[in-house]
Amino acid sequence: MTAPPQLGLNHPTVSRDVGVLGVFTFALAVLAYLLADYRTAVFVRELPRPLRDLASQLTEFGQMGHYVWILPLAIIVSVLLKRKTDAWWFGLALASTVVSGLLVNILKIILGRSRPSVLFAYNEYGFGPIRLGYDHASFPSGHAATCGSLAAVLWLKWPRLWPLWLILGLTIAFTRVFTLSHYISDVLIGAYLGAVTTLLLHREFVRRKWL
């Protein structure tokens, strides 16, 4: 009896697909930067306030700060209930969220992209390497990275529901565009980095037989 194929990067086709998706995502982000980011920000600014307020509420689900205490608590409860596998799954989600968050914040400082708010206040659009502060920390999106990380964990855990995880992840990630916190390209790259971080960590967890 043959063993079932493993998910994640241990699956023979996933590594290839992740690479192809990376090239596609990067190309789409470049096109967005050149053609759509500026126009979309201007369009969103003119949307009805209730719609933007709804986006502001939904975007809280992508806040990494919520998960750095929820997930450790879930790990502790799982250990107390002797649900070892569940504890490792929560551990994967926590590790991916934190690691992708650190990676994104390093890139933010190095690339120094101005946020849409700076565009409207000072007509400043683009990148300026090595800049600190919220106003120049647009690329990539940290919220999107968290969404990508958690959506990938859910896909690995319950793969048959992948359309649901994809829709939820992208919906929450793109609220950052509708709150004028990020551009489309910021969200695309952030979500991809989060998902890839999960896949890389999952492979390590499997190699160590934690999952």
Tell me, yes or no, if the pTM score tops 0.75: yes
Domains observed in the chain: 9-207 (1.20.144)
pLDDT tens, position by position, 49-68: 999 999 999 999 999 999 99
pLDDT tens, position by position, 18-60: 999 999 999 999 999 999 999 999 999 999 999 999 999 999 9
At residue 5, the pLDDT reads 56
For the chain, the straight-line distance linking the first and the last C-alpha, in angstroms and rounded, comes to: 21
At residue 1, the pLDDT reads 41
Closest CA to 59 of 185, 169, 176, 164: 176
Residue 118 pLDDT grade (very low, low, confident, very high; cuts 50, 70, 90): very high
Whether residue 108 has pLDDT greater than 50: yes
Residue 113 DSSP code: B
